[in-house]
Structure 1
Amino acid sequence: MKAILHLLKFSFFAVLCLGIQGCKNNESEKSDRYKKPNIVFILVDDLGLHDLSVTGSTFYETPNVDRIAKEGMIFTQGYAASRVCSPSRASIMLGKFTARHGITDWIGAASGTDWRKHGRHDKLLPAEYNHALPAGDVSLAEALRAERYQTFFAGKWHLGNEGSYPEDHGFTINRGGWEKGSPIGGYFSPWENPKLPNKTDGENLSMRLAKETANFIEQQKDSTFFAFLSFYAVHGQIQTSEPKWQKYRDKAEAQGIAERGYEMERVLPIRIVQDNPIYGGLVEAMDEAVGLVLKALSDAGLEENTIVVFTSDNGGVASGDAFSTSNLPLRGGKGYQWEGGIREPYFIKVPWLKNNGAENDFPVTGADFYPTLLDLAGIELLPEQHQDGISLKPLLEGEEIDVDRPLFWHYPHYGNQGGNPSSVIRQKNWKLIHYWEDGSEELYNLDTDIGEQSNVLDQHPEIAKSMSDTLLGWLKEVEANMPEKDIEFNAELAQKRHEDMVTKRLPALEAQRMEFLSDDFQPNPDWWGSKLTKD
């Protein structure tokens, strides 16, 4: 079956090449290169909206990413398509919302009765979901490759096992993309990645991925290319070098170390301050790697003909995983149904449009990248493929988009970070959350309550009813996967787990926070391997 799908896709490429725009030979392609811009897409893992200087952080330092924002357009209401990684990444590649393509959880997460093995004692059994990027879809890379783009992928993939790697979905070159969603072996060489051989002990993973991308840019400077740099940073396990830890430890002290770093959310403790020096160093290393790629474009003389996209796949990790950052004033973080879980840095730099950091407040999503990049490249759109995305080209050109579309999120799962199985719809300034445990709902006015503290469902029953009907109707239309009640649910054990979070986990996290900020902190003698080389 998979072979048949690949054959059908090949046929699609042939038809596309022979269509209206035609296939150009190499010489004409070079002469027309300005008409088909290069594209560099930078995706950071688990980066929160406020984890950048340009988006308001006074703790993290990100001058290179800030430059992309200040030379492009900043979409202030940019969203990931999911609160966790794999679904969001699939939506970027396919131009569809998660309920439509069926990858609704991070690939590898337990579903059905397997969820009980975690000892969570939850009311529902998480829904089943697709475990690979659908072979029958035409990915963004495949669409660009059909237009004679040279395609390159570096970093985190997490969209299927062997047979569903980047090279199976349109990328000619793959450096580091496989089924794992975290940096196995850590952020310093030697790491464990069959798609990224170790070269130098102590080499930084983010910088290595940037070097691979820069080398590709240099090699392809006379062609037209699509380079997708997908950092493993800033996913846990978080690590940094001693000098960077020291820099951010001293900065935290200079800014004044807060008495408390956490408070309880509904299920887990959640970080409320940005003062983690390990995470600060990890963010800075990612930013330095971005700087290397931007320099490669400049050195190759390609800055004026290269679109640069920068975004993240979900909110910053405030609960669960490494409890790395705070997303305040947004509520929640990775895994949560609130804005902290899905609101992202979302920058698009189109050099010839000279946006110069202009801000646009039109709500946009990860599914929009697909049609937007095709449109900017002068390539005919594929509406049957990117069904939920729209082209943002008019906004980038200073115009308006006359469309009042709802945005949908569907997460029929329990995350590692404390979020609840729920589905979400946003229309204009209204956001409604439907919870699958009990059918309850929350309604927020994001214009006046960005922190989602006031559920105004009772004050606006007509709006809530209309939005709920639209959401549930759409989920039925796309045949969304759904969770089921767990007949073995034990309320007493669930309450005991919650009490342990309050009385044990919360104090332990506060103690760990102070350990990270102590003068004599040392994770191990070689600082996670960063001291294995002088580079």
Structure 2
Amino acid sequence: MAYFNSWRKPSLIVFACLLCFLSSSAARAEKRSPNFVFFLVDDMGYMDIGANNPDTFYETPNIDALAASGIRFTNGYAANPVCSPTRYSIMTGKHPSRVDATNFFSGARAGRFRPAVLNDRMPVSEVTMAEALKEAGYQTAFLGKWHLGPTQEFWPENQGFDFNVGGQHRGHPKSYFSPYSNPKLSDGPKGEHLTARLTNEATRLIGEMKDEPFLLYMAYYTVHTPLQAPKDLVEKYRRKAESVESDLEEFAPEEQVFPNSKNKRLVRQVQKHATYAAMVETLDDSVGRILNQLKELNLEEDTIICFTSDNGGLSTSEGSPTSNLPLRGGKGWLYEGGIREPFLIRWPGVTKPGTTSDVPVVSTDFYPTMLDMAGIEPKPQQHVDGRSLAPLIKDGTPPERDAIFWHYPHYSNQGGIPGAAVRMGNFKLIERFEDGRCHLYDLSADIGEQNDLAADMPDKVDAMKARLHAWYKDVDAKFLRPLKDGGPEPWRPE
């Protein structure tokens, strides 16, 4: 008995110490802020992923698995139908119209009128998502497409990111194969693939940052033009395209702002572009590689994943590689095909796998949502247009707002009209800036925006137009200008 008691006492002490160690380890783990991996894809349409479109021509098993493991928003939007403004909205949580960053940075095409004035840089005075997280102790890394300023003073390393791999002024790569001619990305072996290279760099940085909370902002150049992909994958989808059958013509007429152009804009109706499909696969494979690495490093449960695109799929120019049907239009349009995006969030321990939400959300919401998830209090005037989606994700409480707005006072390269739009509930109003005409659609019954209800519901038009015009004043929105001094004046809101 004496022997038993003498053995038992040290054992109890050891056991107590072990409990203390485990408790302190659990406390440390509990205190650690979540990591963030933010996937931003260039030009990916809502209907390009299987999670949103089971009949898609493209193969996206890793993105679909991500959607199935978290929450998928079926009414997720970009703040603008082209890239730079949406990127600004994500980084700042503000609508790009507040600083006149309303087109891709360098877009100055004129039509019947001159476009609105364009600010071609994200002010360094903005407190970006990266700066807010860095101030809270995060390591921050940016990879891929930046397109938020013409010179290095406006690039990621001066906007809150510790690392910048590939982020510069250009909106697309000169080539998806090395040499890249990118001042922020050294060339690899000749023929190295850009999407894979950026993923290699991402996995390296995750390995370096894994011991402390981090933000990895993975802004792939893919699937933007030039349309290039590994030859074996292109051949795979060329063979697959041969078996595609559809009752629709591959291309169809679409409204355009260049009625006298010799090159009439046609909209793609059938997904079967082999090179684009191959580009989507390289993207999906890269997403899978990063998610797998998080799992292998035991970071999966500590890392929140966000996935979205900067505008709708390219369907009417530069090869017209994808179809957004049943959504109308595409990149450069205020129709749903130009602004509705893949919009996925996985918050381990919070998001119930396979959840979907039809609450309208927008790219400005990511910033406040991520700060909320990390327990960081926003500063005054920070992300003033975004709303945290954390309550919606936790218990279904929608964000407090009555409308979502879009403002595009430009002639898009893809043929889209200069105008603005507002969504209130299931109704969406589009206002044209050349002449002030309005169109009204009920998205719950007409997601393809084919049935204009403006003439039948004048009171609804007036109410939504009044709300939109009040918003113009709030953000100091700018509008079209005469084509030349003394020329015809474009429409202006009252």
Tell me if both proteins adopt one fold, taking TM over 0.5 as the criterion.
yes
Mapped pair 1:364 → 2:354: no
In structure 2, relative to structure 1, the CA distance for the partners of 1:384 and 1:100 (3 Å cut) is same
Secondary structure of 2:267's partner? strand
| 1:151 alignment partner in structure 2 | 140
| 1:373 alignment partner in structure 2 | 370
Mapped pair 1:353 → 2:350: yes
**C-alpha deviation, 1:202, in angstroms:** 1.4
Secondary structure of 1:284's partner? helix
Mapped pair 1:101 → 2:91: no
**C-alpha deviation, 1:220, in angstroms:** 1.1
Mapped pair 1:436 → 2:400: no
**What is the correspondence of 1:312-351 to structure 2 with a 5 Å cutoff?**
312-351=309-348
| Percent of residue pairs identical | 44
Mapped pair 1:182 → 2:193: no
| 1:238 alignment partner in structure 2 | 227
Secondary structure of 1:359's partner? strand
| 2:480 alignment partner in structure 1 | 483
Distance 1:143 1:437 in 2: 40
Mapped pair 1:391 → 2:380: no
1:97 partner amino acid = H
Tell me, yes or no, if the aligned pair for 2:43 and 2:309 is still in contact at 8 Å: yes
| 2:295 alignment partner in structure 1 | 298
Distance 1:474 1:387 in 2: 13
**Does 420-429 or 247-256 show the bigger shift?**
247-256
Tell me, yes or no, if the aligned pair for 1:152 and 1:172 is still in contact at 8 Å: yes
Secondary structure of 1:288's partner? helix
| 2:155 alignment partner in structure 1 | 165
Mapped pair 1:194 → 2:174: no
Counterpart pick for 1:82 among 80, 83, 91: 80
Distance 1:177 1:280 in 2: 25
Residues 140-169 of structure 1 deviation map (CA, whole Å, 9 limit, x = unaligned): 000000001000000000000221000111
**Does 279-288 or 94-103 show the bigger shift?**
94-103
Secondary structure of 1:301's partner? coil
Tell me, yes or no, if the aligned pair for 2:35 and 2:215 is still in contact at 8 Å: yes
**C-alpha deviation, 1:426, in angstroms:** 0.6
Counterpart pick for 1:58 among 56, 59, 65: 56
Tell me, yes or no, if the aligned pair for 2:244 and 2:272 is still in contact at 8 Å: no
Distance 2:328 2:485 in 1: 31
Distance 1:371 1:392 in 2: 8
**C-alpha deviation, 1:470, in angstroms:** 1.1
Counterpart pick for 1:227 among 216, 222, 243: 216
| 1:460 alignment partner in structure 2 | 457
**C-alpha deviation, 1:468, in angstroms:** 0.5
**What is the correspondence of 1:14-163 to structure 2 with a 5 Å cutoff?**
31-32=28-29, 35-56=32-53, 57-110=55-108, 115=109, 122-161=111-150, 162-163=152-153
Secondary structure of 2:242's partner? helix
**Does 397-406 or 87-96 show the bigger shift?**
397-406
**Does 307-316 or 189-198 show the bigger shift?**
189-198
| 1:528 alignment partner in structure 2 | none
In structure 2, relative to structure 1, the CA distance for the partners of 1:60 and 1:402 (3 Å cut) is closer
**Does 373-382 or 219-228 show the bigger shift?**
373-382
**What is the correspondence of 1:209-288 to structure 2 with a 5 Å cutoff?**
209-256=198-245, 260-267=249-256, 268-288=265-285
**Does 429-438 or 52-61 show the bigger shift?**
52-61
Tell me, yes or no, if the aligned pair for 1:237 and 1:322 is still in contact at 8 Å: no
Distance 2:474 2:248 in 1: 50
Distance 1:374 1:421 in 2: 34
Secondary structure of 2:46's partner? coil
Distance 2:192 2:30 in 1: 35
Secondary structure of 1:154's partner? strand
Secondary structure of 1:163's partner? helix
Tell me, yes or no, if the aligned pair for 2:387 and 2:399 is still in contact at 8 Å: no
Residues 398-420 of structure 1 deviation map (CA, whole Å, 9 limit, x = unaligned): 32226342111110000110101
2:28 partner amino acid = S
Residues 426-446 of structure 1 deviation map (CA, whole Å, 9 limit, x = unaligned): 111110011010010101111
| 1:5 alignment partner in structure 2 | none
Counterpart pick for 2:416 among 393, 414, 419: 419
Distance 1:359 1:417 in 2: 31
Residues 345-393 of structure 1 deviation map (CA, whole Å, 9 limit, x = unaligned): 0000001114212100100000000000000111113352111110000
**C-alpha deviation, 1:76, in angstroms:** 0.5
**Greater C-alpha Rg:** 2
What TM-score do the two structures reach when normalised by structure 2?
Answer: 0.89
Secondary structure of 2:154's partner? coil
* Paired residues, number: 455
In structure 2, relative to structure 1, the CA distance for the partners of 1:402 and 1:274 (3 Å cut) is closer
Tell me, yes or no, if the aligned pair for 1:52 and 1:61 is still in contact at 8 Å: yes
Q: Show structure 1 runs of 5+ residues with no match.
A: 1-26, 117-121, 492-535
**Does 27-36 or 455-464 show the bigger shift?**
27-36
Secondary structure of 1:375's partner? helix
Secondary structure of 1:55's partner? coil
Q: Show structure 2 runs of 5+ residues with no match.
A: 1-23, 257-264, 489-494
2:57 partner amino acid = F
Secondary structure of 1:485's partner? coil
**C-alpha deviation, 1:277, in angstroms:** 0.4
2:385 partner amino acid = D
**C-alpha deviation, 1:454, in angstroms:** 0.7
Distance 1:463 1:262 in 2: 34
Counterpart pick for 2:447 among 450, 461, 471: 450
**C-alpha deviation, 1:29, in angstroms:** 13
Tell me, yes or no, if the aligned pair for 1:78 and 1:363 is still in contact at 8 Å: yes
Residues 165-195 of structure 1 deviation map (CA, whole Å, 9 limit, x = unaligned): 00111001000000000012x1111111010
Secondary structure of 1:285's partner? helix
| 1:208 alignment partner in structure 2 | 197
Distance 2:274 2:485 in 1: 42
2:148 partner amino acid = L
**Does 50-59 or 219-228 show the bigger shift?**
50-59
Distance 2:80 2:167 in 1: 20
